[in-house]
Structure 1
């Protein structure tokens, strides 16, 4: 027992400097999120940007390495697993089978098209896949989850997050503006935001810019795409595991965190998760994701990003155009369905367009 306690204390001692640095950067990211002009960027995105800036401008002490690596890898898996406690199968089915088809199509079409475009442009396979999944599913959370399977370099992860942040932010402002120009209803605008924008925060922000009805439609579609993360990770775990281009230790066919994600989602869908646990997951998930992204940022060097070139940015641009077009078409199609009219009719009067 004494040997086990000593091992625990020794491990904690080695991790402490890095954990303390990550905690400071994470706290700074959440504080920066409340500043004017930065509200549209989630603390998760700000954390990786601050981590990169600190590492490249100030520098990271070698003693911080173990703690930073712990956050970048272990905390990331825990955070992705906890996402399952915040969504239900009902979210996926809010707008009936039409909504389910639209969500599946947004992911199933965008992901392979984006990956193919990236490879055609000469983007490395791991970076191309990270951009594709981040754009098609749920931004930085998807990149974090998928990276536990494909195990890309830190600079690839950081560049992928930068790409989806850039184009997702463009969409955050463009979708509400174009919705007004195109004369879309509030529900159509919300559906478009939920089906097109990369980050949950971006979809929610663009959705509620058009009112409550728009916001609720955006949340329903975006959470449906988040739930698709399990399918994508499972498929990639098998594909990357069997790929001849994979080097080093091959990933597990079914990662443990994915099992935890599905279990929590199933329990939540059945109403078996205590309210306290769901509330704790809502608080803990962005904290853990931000901490893990700060760790990735600190392991990234600007010179490595410059060496990756501009091709990933063009991949992100094409991907954003593809998923935006799909989302717009699907939003108009879904809003004309009987199921959508029933959902809107069930909302309080103040939430209807």
Structure 2
């Protein structure tokens, strides 16, 4: 590497350092609060970031905050591939796979249609529907990274993260009672919990609160939903290409690099070549990247922007959550 290249890298690092460090500090504080007060870490990260939004206008911090909100986010999404293996999916048979594929596709299509009916852009329905159907805040961030630029995209992303975090926490409390009320068998209970609750942590909490087998089944079904992130990102990328150029005037790739990395890591993880320790550190790094990214996005957003969203987006996300739960129950009856 030439001296000029080294100097350019050094200068780039100096420009990014303050904003990246600010995002990491907010992420560390959010993780501490989440561990001690048992609430979603993404929600804490978002709120802390919004409390520090004055930094986004500081010329020393702005480049690093922008970098964290975009590039660090994409690294975190790519590392999600280390969360599952194809063998885990195959072990449960075809019924859960069918339920996951149908529920994800139908929920997203219904969400897009409902968003249009309520007067929103279809992309907002794709964002909220994907977050509801796949993996909550992580899916919202991944889809946001793949969707075309729009003045309201970051506000929509923040609202979606808040909504799925709150609804996922409520589902973790309510859905085990629904399982007991409907007298679902152990495996069916795991499929229902894993197929409907938005975030991984809440799926684990709800599943293992009932039994070990229910928790194991719910976790694997949830990982199946995470696997659906790749085709949905591909669809989002195709929408981006169809709508023209991306930021900077360049035509976006058909498949974003972080989506390719996601499936590559999942494939490598499925071979068993990656040790348990590496998997563990990779998952932790993914979580840190995503939490830091949502902190940075929070820093870029004014609270008054979220306060102006109105009742319709809230109704849309509640409707999507209820629809997904009913759909999975119907599919369980059909395949049972």
Q: Under a length normalisation based on structure 2, what TM-score does the superposition of the two structures give?
A: 0.92
Secondary structure (helix, strand or coil) at the match of 1:281 reads helix
Between stretches 293-302 and 182-191, larger displacement belongs to 182-191
How many residues are paired up? 331
Shift of the alpha carbon at 1:192? 0.9
Counterparts of 1:183-332 in structure 2 under 5 Å?
A: 183-243=183-243, 249-332=250-333
What is aligned with 1:344? Answer: none
User: What do residues 250-275 of structure 1 show as CA deviations (whole Å, max 9, x unaligned)?
Assistant: 43111111111111111111223244
Mapped pair 1:80 → 2:77: yes
Secondary structure (helix, strand or coil) at the match of 2:91 reads coil
**Is the alpha carbon distance of 1:310 and 1:244 closer, same or farther for their aligned partners in structure 2, counting shifts above 3 Å?**
farther
**Is the alpha carbon distance of 1:250 and 1:112 closer, same or farther for their aligned partners in structure 2, counting shifts above 3 Å?**
farther
**Is the alpha carbon distance of 1:202 and 1:124 closer, same or farther for their aligned partners in structure 2, counting shifts above 3 Å?**
same
Q: Under a length normalisation based on structure 1, what TM-score does the superposition of the two structures give?
A: 0.88
Shift of the alpha carbon at 1:60? 5.6
Kept in 1, the 8 Å contact 2:245–2:251? The answer is no
Partners of 1:34 and 1:275 lie apart in 2 by: 23
User: What do residues 32-53 of structure 1 show as CA deviations (whole Å, max 9, x unaligned)?
Assistant: 01223xx241x23321222123
Shift of the alpha carbon at 1:244? 6.7
Between stretches 181-190 and 257-266, larger displacement belongs to 181-190
Counterparts of 1:52-67 in structure 2 under 5 Å?
A: 52-55=50-53, 61-67=58-64
Counterparts of 1:1-40 in structure 2 under 5 Å?
A: 1-36=2-37, 39-40=38-39
Kept in 2, the 8 Å contact 1:175–1:206? The answer is yes
Partners of 1:109 and 1:282 lie apart in 2 by: 29
User: What do residues 291-337 of structure 1 show as CA deviations (whole Å, max 9, x unaligned)?
Assistant: 11111111111222233322111110110011111222334555x4x
Gaps (5+ residues) in structure 1? 337-353
Partners of 2:157 and 2:42 lie apart in 1 by: 13
Secondary structure (helix, strand or coil) at the match of 2:52 reads helix
Kept in 2, the 8 Å contact 1:92–1:227? The answer is no
Partners of 2:77 and 2:301 lie apart in 1 by: 21
Mapped pair 1:45 → 2:46: no
Kept in 1, the 8 Å contact 2:79–2:262? The answer is yes
Gaps (5+ residues) in structure 2? none
**Is the alpha carbon distance of 1:76 and 1:245 closer, same or farther for their aligned partners in structure 2, counting shifts above 3 Å?**
closer
What is aligned with 2:104? Answer: 107
Kept in 2, the 8 Å contact 1:128–1:312? The answer is no
Kept in 1, the 8 Å contact 2:113–2:122? The answer is no
Partners of 1:206 and 1:282 lie apart in 2 by: 21
Partners of 1:212 and 1:62 lie apart in 2 by: 51
